[in-house]
Structure 1
Amino acid sequence: MTKSSIINDLKSMGLTGSETILIHSSMKAVGNVEGGADTVLDALMEFFADGLLLLPTHTWKTVNESNPVFDVSNSESCVGILTELFRKRPGVVRSLHPTHSIAAFGRNAESYIAGELSCNTPCTPGGCYDRLKDVDGKILLIGVTHARNTYIHSVEEVLNVPNRLSDKPMKLSVIDNSGNSHTVYMRKHYNASQPHISEDFVKLAQAYIDCGAARNVMFGDAPSVLCNARGIFNVTRHVLAPAPECFITEDVISSERWADFPGNEFSQE
């Protein structure tokens, strides 16, 4: 695969390059690309030059009570090679969220990621993740499932779903781009019954497709999913509002939960 073929894959999804889009990715799943991960980033940044390209640069795996410092310039991303390389590129800016930062490139990048120092949860309502629904944002899952779709956590936080966050916050330090240190208090994702709650997000995969909030696409060799953030929010709310614990308590979420949802309201065709 080449940069041109990757750009063609994006065009074949119906994307124009002017979108605000958050990308979760597995470079391994993409396959053999001439130039590797850098070529993939070249293609993404060229294609979305008139839009806003967002990649997660999370540090929840390394920033914690025993290692309480997040340095926005130097703390490595723990969610894949594309995200780590992306945050270091010229023109890319990174939010100051100590555990769930986002790197941004393109239209109004700095204003989009602003204000994350005031967050006290991984996906605080009004923060970078929650904003996606308000700007008609897209989410592209490249070679990964909804188990890696952090946006669903933000829906849970907006809905105030119980038993999703630790009771006590961590005291952390954030070092900004100027070298200044800021003290923040951050809760983390936690559920006593299911320590990896996001693994259950895949239970809604068919609901998202049936309701037009997501559709299956290809990116290189990677089976991928293109989502509409507002659609994901509304379908998730439709299912969780009457039964907030259904991710945990049910092996399969019945199709009856979304049978009366307006079909194709969020079609991305």
Structure 2
Amino acid sequence: MLIGVDQESNTSIHSCEEIAEVPYHLQEEITEAYVIGYKGERIVIRNRLHNWNKPPTDFNKLDWIFYEKGIMRIGKIGNSIIRLIEADKMFEITVELLRRQPYFLVKNSG
């Protein structure tokens, strides 16, 4: 549920970008960190961080798609616009779209 904000605040879409493996979202380098497990063992965590130098994206391109597919309802509470989105279907639709068009969310990508 998005309350008083649009798709630009829908950080779940970043997960869709990662699942679809879009080329712009993550840094190429792998970062390592260490945590200590509950038995005192040292555990290595390898991860790729977000690419902060990526091209600007426009998550609002998805707004009409979600509405048109019937997975998002729009309403109001007070002065706030509410977007209620079926998360599982949002993931399916967005990941499939990004696998077909990896740059769909990049601004000015058509």
Partner of 2:49: 188
Identical aligned residues as a percent: 29
Q: Show the 5 A alignment for 1:11-160.
A: 140-160=1-21
Bigger radius of gyration: 1
Higher strand share: 2
How far is 1:238 from its partner? 4.2
- Higher relative contact order, chain-length normalized (CA < 8 Å, sep 6+): 2
Partner of 2:69: 211
**Aligned equivalents of 1:239 and 1:233: distance in 2?**
10
**Aligned equivalents of 1:147 and 1:249: distance in 2?**
12
Partner deviation per Cα, 1:38-86 (whole Å, 9 max, x = no partner)? xxxxxxxxxxxxxxxxxxxxxxxxxxxxxxxxxxxxxxxxxxxxxxxxx
Partner of 2:23: 162
AA of the residue aligned to 1:225:
R
Give unpaired runs (5+ residues) of structure 1. 1-139, 254-269
Q: Matched residue pairs, number? A: 108
Give unpaired runs (5+ residues) of structure 2. none
Q: Please, what is the CA RMSD of the aligned residues?
A: 2.7
**Aligned equivalents of 1:193 and 1:209: distance in 2?**
27
SS of the residue 1:239 aligns to: helix
**Aligned equivalents of 1:222 and 1:189: distance in 2?**
30
- TM-score of the superposition, structure 2-length normalised? 0.75
- TM-score of the superposition, structure 1-length normalised? 0.35
How far is 1:148 from its partner? 1.9
Correspondence 1:201 to 2:42: no
